[in-house]
Chains A and B, each alone.
Chain A
Amino acid sequence: MDAIIQMMANAPLLSIIIFLPLVGAILITLMNPAKSHRIKWFAFWVSIATFLISLFLLAGSGGFEKFSHIEQYTWLPQIGVSYHIGVDGISLWLVLLSTFLLPISILSSFSAIRKREKEYYILLLLMGFALTGTFVALDLVLFFLFWESVLIPMYLLIGIWGSGRRIYAATKFVLYTVVGSFFMLLAIIGLYVYSGSFGPGTFDFIYLRSHIAPPELQTWLFLAFFLAFAIKVPLFPFHTWLADAHTEAPTAGSVLLAAVLLKMGGYGFIRFCLTLFPDASVWAAPWIMGLAVISIIYGALVCAAQTDLKRLIALSSVAHMGFVMLGIFSFANTSIGQVGATIQMVSHGITTGALFLLVGVIYERRHTREIAQFGGLASVMPQYYNVFLITMLASVGLPALNGFVGEFLILLGAFRADWALGGLATFGVVLAAVYLLTMFRRVFHGECTKPENQKLLDLNVRELVYLVPLVLLMLWIGLYPKPYLSVIKPAVDRSVRAVMRIASGSVEYARSGEKAATALAQVLSEDTPGGDG
């Protein structure tokens, strides 16, 4: 076993994790579409293999404070683009989250998807490829490519296998996100041009983060990145794509959307916005925290009025991701909020993923998502009831389940940064209980009066297989989050420390080559040589 771990630690793990689903997808293209059974299981085993391999990430090097498993190959040297990937404490759990949810979403589709199965599983695997890539890319062009390539499979997943107004939802999703990405692309090019003004132009994140742009330039670049990430998260006024996309997407699509896609925004903020534009981040933090609080309160209030089960859960993401945003931008005095935000991203992925899977289960049986169509399911589907209960409570943020850990840390951090906003956000905890419990009552409690509900089947083995791991994770993170926190904390601390040091003016901006060199030296002075610089 040790030998295997050793071997895996030396292998280009991240590349394997990224490209294995891609290879799987390519192989599926060669398979006979009529033999859907074979395709399903092949896709499933590919994703399981990816997940298992990704677990070796944990075994390898010591600590994730800095980037580890770094791979860098020249790609387009003429314009300073390289294939540069690596993982640290911030991205590690997100990578594992996406590799973990991929097999689950594949498994959940086995009976739900009946048409064009071959293409469906190809696209799911492609999603896995693009999602993992987004979280490990350390080159802005590479990041942008992965970031954008997530859209294509998702667009098709919603557009082909969605329900109701799927074309509208898919188009809206893509156009909305692309608008943000467009500005981000401009800013990425801007960074390149800037870096070209005192040295060889580059898109390399590691280089750029030690050559910080002057504040006035930062502001504009920050705003461009902000738009892209805020749409993805989504933050308050940019959230309307989410409800439609989540609602109309097939179950697996919703799961990946809510659980992983939204995290790309949050991750982008921590990784790129904060690190590359520290001054602008400090400047913008109160405003973004304000927007985050609005998201929390507004999202919860809007949720309370929904009649569509899936739409309700989708909109609850607005509130929950509001917490994440609040935590990310509460970095001024303490990193607790940002650690909380990072773990909350993972928690929310698990919880909301599970909620969407659960809605998928009932949708598959009843082909409706109207809350009014249900009622009294508790007596018909006891197992389903129990799993839903735990998941719902995790989403409410009940202590000892995963939601609490993140929310508590976020609110603690946010309260330090701004007691008024922190206090308001805390009220969101009350509102979350209002809409989720009401929804739960309307679906499960009361007499089961509708004849079509009375003979619903309880969870089958396959459904239990993909739901139980999620429930176990909820309990694990809720009861013993130490393994997660101990990985996240050093990396977040390091990132926040760098941001605050630059923003407080103790590091020169890299305006000229000479100053850039000093800045580099200063930023990296705390890092051991050859660490990740």
Chain B
Amino acid sequence: MDYIYLAIALPLLGVLVNGFFGRRMPRKAVGTIASLVILGSFVVSLVAFLGYLAAEGGTHTVTLLPWLSLPPLEISYGFLVDGLSLVMALTVSFVSFLIHVYSMGYMADDDGYPRYFTYLNLFVAMMLTLVLADNLVLMFVGWEGVGLCSYLLIGFWYKKAAPPVAGIKAFIVNRIGDFAFLIGMFLIFWLYGTFSFTELRQSVETVALAGHFPLTLIALFLFGGAIGKSAQFPLYVWLPDAMEGPTPVSALIHAATMVTAGVYMVSRMSFLYSMTEVAMLVVACVGAFTAIFAASIALVQNDIKRVLAYSTISQLGYMFLAAGVGAYWIAIFHLFTHAFFKALLFLASGSVIHGMRGEMDMRKMGGLAKYMPHTYWHFLIGAMSISGIPLLAGFFSKDQILFAAFTARPDIWPNAGMVLWIVGVVTALFTAFYMFRQIYLVFLTKPRFDVAEIHPHEAPASMIAPNWVLAIGSVVAGFIGLPALFAGIIHIPNMFQPFVASAVAGGVHVAEAAHGAQELFKEVLTTSISVVVALLGLGLAFYLYQVRYGTTEKLKKAFAAPYRVLLNKYYVDEFYDNTFVQPGRVLCEQLSRVVDLGVIDGVVNSIAFVIGAVGQVLRPIQTGFIRNYAWYISAGAILLVILLWLGLAAK
């Protein structure tokens, strides 16, 4: 499929049209154009996908133009078409399309309507660049490009105080990650002399520097970029703040697509990661830690979107956990299912906020199921999916992650797999609990607001329709990548794994699907535990918020200190503020005032002052009386003669 670049070009066309003429066109046209170009991207990706299937593994690159060409440095506008990039492109363009449609309803009354769709189209173009690029630098273009769009869209409502600040925070934290990413890129280039994924894979695999220190270094630096982009600990702090943006943006960028770029990158570079155990372990541990860390924060948050934001961070942690134990295809699979159910959850929460006139505090909601039944169902399906209720999409992907962790490389990391698995299971418990806590607080408990005043209402059709599509996806998406256990039972083969695995370095460290009886037993065991845990979380939420509504207040009092820590998100933001931001600000001001104006300019000005002072001292010599000057002239002439004379005499 040589026209894959159209998938990027079409949204860019949308950017140009809406960017230049958007303000002069009717709103309907703007939204329609924006959505249509994304649909076009989806169609292009789909055609490419079908072509790929027909060619049976027709991995190939499409090179358009050279970009930076300075031998030995050769970077071109080249696009890599393989299983991994096609899955990503399809996911991205499909979810984006739905969210564009949803946005047409959600943003209908906003002043910045054309601007919104311009940014959104630009985002899709950049995201597709990121996933389709055939070299690291072009990928970095997309990588930074999506960061830019994220910045612009978080700060979309720039008239308010908070959004622009959140946008800057997102951009800068991401840049810190990018800093590491850049260094990783430099190392790669000077070690392997290329940025192209295909060539890189060849040289890494042939040179075989497994366990080599620079290799680990590269992997860790690149992962630094992923930590920033995919909001992992310790650089996750921007994502909760990013919820200041419009909700569809949160759904698209900060849940379904952009934040998964790190996972994609690690999978794309899997050939490299698979060579270095240390980096793999770091990835897995960071992922696992972030998963449980963010999930624990999500337990007590009250803002409907913040819960989802921390949930996203947690789920991304799962993905890195999977990638870290070598199960790249599962990471991508979870990315794929997560895109559906998390987008669904966000869009549903957007409908709630829309119907509640901008209210986001769950403590002021309740009983909305009656007023917005569709949205209730959407949210319920999403929550069930993410919690791992059996047979929904999230169940399959999460289950496989846990299984992969459970069976991860016992030879290399004794017990590590077990620890990771336990962390994953606890996270699953948390996840089920906070999701259903949210369901209860928002939809089921008694209304805690003035119904007469707020008039909660269901969202318009343009917002409901995409949600239904996503809801269906959240239910069925898991069936294309069934675990071996289920594949064996219901005779649907795992289509996802072979498709993606051709692109990632599968096999080497991946715990392959169970074949033996012992493996099967393990899988049954872990799956059962997952199910039990999910139901436990659900049950707990049911008990606390439905059966014994009000118990939570007592719990809060009983565990005041831990509760406060969680509510304040472990004080990480405060810690960063006190450790980096404020001292940095003081440093800058002191540098500017004391060092720059004081010391450096001071030295310069002192030199000037000294010269001036010497001038002042010598000034009386210039009496202004001609006869004095005549005397000086004569004396000077005589002196000159004497000197010349002495000089001659010396010779």
**A481 near B591: Cβ-Cβ < 8 Å:** no
Q: Which residues of A contact B141 (CB under 8 A)?
A: 399-400, 404
Q: A433-B172, A445-B158 are in contact. Are A336 and B73 (CB under 8 A)?
A: yes
Q: A240-B604, A302-B588, A379-B159 are in contact. Are A486 and B69 (CB under 8 A)?
A: yes
Q: Which of A51-59, A154-162, A277-285, A406-414 contacts B (4 or more CB under 8 A)?
A: A406-414
Q: In the bound complex, do residue A339 and residue B186 qualify as a contact, i.e. CB atoms below 8 Å apart?
A: no
Stretch binding the partner chain, chosen from B175-183, B253-261, B380-388, B501-509: B175-183
Query: Please, what's the 1-or-0 string for B589-632, where 1 marks a CB less than 8 Å from any CB in chain A?
Result: 10111001000110010001000000000000000000000000
Q: Are B68 and A405 in contact (CB-based, < 8 A)? A: yes
Point out the residues of chain B lying under 8 angstroms from A434, CB to CB.
Answer: 172
Residues of A within 8 A of B187 (CB): 415
Name the interface size band of chain B.
35 or more
- Interchain CB contact under 8 A, A415 and B140: no
Per the bound structure, the CA–CA distance linking A175 and B611 in Å amounts to 12
Neighbour of B70 across the interface among A404, A409, A416, A422, CB < 8 A? A409
A408 and B179 form a contact (CB under 8 A): no
Give the residues in chain B near A412, CB-CB below 8 Å: 73, 186, 189
Say whether B168 contacts A441, CB under 8 Å: yes
Contact A399 B69 (CB under 8 A): no
Q: Judge if A447 is at the interface, Cβ distance under 8 Å.
A: yes
* B516-542 at interface with A (beta carbon < 8 Å): none
Q: Can you name the residue of chain A whose Cβ is closest to the Cβ of B152?
A: A389
Contact A399 B593 (CB under 8 A): no
Is the beta-carbon distance between B179 and A427 smaller than 8 angstroms?
A: yes
Cα A111 to Cα B364 in complex, Å, equals 56
Does A12 count as interface, using CB distance less than 8 angstroms?
A: no
Assembly CA distance A237 to B66 (angstroms): 40
A399 and B186 form a contact (CB under 8 A) = no
Q: How far is the CB of B168 from chain A (nearest CB, A)?
A: 5
Residues of B within 8 A of A480 (CB): 65, 67
B644 adjacent to chain A (CB < 8 Å): no
User: Residue A461 at the B interface, CB < 8 A?
Assistant: no
Give A218-243 as 1s and 0s: 1 = Cβ < 8 Å from B's Cβ atoms: 00000000000000000001011101
Q: Which residue of B lies closest to A415 (CB)?
A: B186
Count, chain A residues at interface, CB 8 A: 56
| Min CB gap B598→A, angstroms | 11
Flag whether A60 is at the interface (Cβ < 8 A): no
Q: A447 to B161, alpha carbons, bound, how many Å?
A: 8
Q: Considering the chains assembled together, what is the distance between the CA atoms of A482 and B69 in angstroms?
A: 7
| Contact present for B161 and A305 (CB under 8 Å) | no
Q: Which residues of A contact B164 (CB under 8 A)?
A: 441, 445-446
Q: Are A446 and B159 in contact (CB under 8 A)?
A: yes
User: Quick one: closest B residue to A340, CB to CB?
Assistant: B70
Question: Within residues 138 to 183 of chain B, which ones have a CB less than 8 A from any CB in chain A?
Answer: 140-141, 143-145, 148, 151, 155, 158-161, 163-165, 167-168, 171-172, 175-176, 178-179, 182-183
Are B588 and A304 in contact, CB atoms less than 8 angstroms apart?
yes
B575 at the interface (CB under 8 A from A): no
Asked if residues A399 and B159 are in contact (CB atoms below 8 Å), the reply is no
Question: For B559, what are the chain A residues with a Cβ–Cβ distance below 8 Å?
Answer: none
- Given the complex of chains A and B, what is the CA–CA distance between A498 and B316 in angstroms? 52
| Residue in A400, A426, A445, A485 whose beta carbon sits within 8 Å of that of B183 in the complex | A426
Take A398-B144, A426-B179, A430-B175 as given contacts and tell me if A489 and B70 are in contact as well, using a CB distance cutoff of 8 Å.
yes
Beyond A411-B182, A441-B164, whether A430 also contacts B172 by CB under 8 A is: yes
Interface string of B129-142 (1 = CB under 8 A from A): 00000000100110
- 1/0 contact trace for B176-200 toward A, CB 8 Å? 1011001100110110000000000
A200 within 8 A of B: no
A298, CB-defined interface residue at 8 Å? yes
B555 at the interface (CB under 8 A from A): no
Chain B residues lying within 8 Å of A427, measured Cβ to Cβ, are: 179
Chain B residues positioned under 8 Å from A399 (CB to CB): 137, 140-141, 143-145
A438 beta carbon closer than 8 Å to chain B: yes
A437 touching B159 by the CB < 8 A rule? no
| Cα A400 to Cα B8 with chains together (Å) | 14
Residue B587 is within 8 A (CB to CB) of chain A in the complex: yes
A481 close to B67 (CB less than 8 A): yes
Closest to B602 in A: A240
Bound together, the chains give a CA A529 to CA B209 distance in angstroms of 48
- Report whether A302 and B67 are in contact in the complex, using a CB–CB cutoff of 8 Å: no
B241 to chain A, nearest CB (A): 14
> Can you list 27 contacts pairing A with B, beta carbon distance less than 8 Å?
A172-B604, A241-B604, A301-B587, A301-B588, A302-B588, A305-B589, A339-B70, A379-B158, A398-B144, A408-B68, A408-B137, A412-B189, A419-B186, A430-B176, A433-B171, A434-B172, A437-B168, A441-B165, A441-B167, A445-B155, A445-B163, A445-B164, A446-B158, A446-B159, A446-B164, A480-B65, A481-B67
Q: A411-B186, A426-B179 are in contact. List 20 more A-B contacts (CB 8 A).
A: A172-B608, A175-B608, A301-B587, A301-B591, A305-B588, A399-B140, A399-B144, A399-B145, A409-B73, A415-B190, A416-B186, A422-B186, A426-B183, A426-B186, A429-B178, A437-B168, A441-B164, A441-B168, A482-B66, A482-B69
